[in-house]
Amino acid sequence: MDAGLSGDDSGLNTVWDEIVVQVRGEESTYWDTYLLTMTTFIAGVVDDLKRYELEAVWLLTPEGESWDCEDEGDRDLNPVCDEEVVNYILYYHLLSKATDHENQRIRAYLDRGYELD
């Protein structure tokens, strides 16, 4: 995907660049659109997982970790939730990577103090 919401003169070339500057700086007025797009892409991948893959990833979520600590007799037999897996991937992996990612375009953008529309 090509960048563009931050403007042609921003120096940001990719949507990932735009996501990174928003995570590391200030969210644009389009942040909800970015979140929806990321969530939609992730949900598509999650939908294609085999059941055992989905369950394995779900066990890594905060909800899965809590479930794993419950007494076996008290556990829900089918607690796996696709939405929890999507949110886990989005927040614990994708957006957490954005906090550490840097390149020359991002540094220049943040140093100039641009504000995203």
pLDDT in tens, 38-69: 999 999 999 999 999 999 999 999 999 988 78
116 confidence band (pLDDT: 50, 70, 90): low
pLDDT value for 7: 65
Q: Is residue 1 part of a domain?
A: no
As a whole number of angstroms, the distance between CA 113 and CA 39 comes to 28
As a whole number of angstroms, the distance between CA 47 and CA 38 comes to 14
Q: Enter the pTM of the model.
A: 0.81
Q: Is residue 117 part of a domain?
A: no
pLDDT value for 38: 95
Q: Quick one: DSSP state of residue 92?
A: I
As a whole number of angstroms, the distance between CA 94 and CA 40 comes to 13
**Residue ranges making up the domain that contains 65:** 8-112
Least confident of 50-59, 85-94, 101-110: 101-110
Using the predicted structure, report yes or no on whether residue 2 has a pLDDT greater than 60: no
Q: Is residue 73 part of a domain?
A: yes
Q: Is residue 26 part of a domain?
A: yes
Domain count, the chain: 1
Q: Is residue 56 part of a domain?
A: yes
Q: Is residue 3 part of a domain?
A: no
Q: Is residue 45 part of a domain?
A: yes
Counting residues of the chain whose pLDDT is more than 90, the rounded percentage is 56
- For 2, the 3-state DSSP assignment is strand
Q: Is residue 103 part of a domain?
A: yes
Phi-psi domain of 66 (left: phi exceeds 0; alpha: psi -120 through 50; beta: other): alpha
- For 103, the 3-state DSSP assignment is coil
For 62-93, b where at least 16 C-beta lie within 10 A, e where not — what string? ebbeebeeeeeeeeeeebbeeebbbbbbbeee
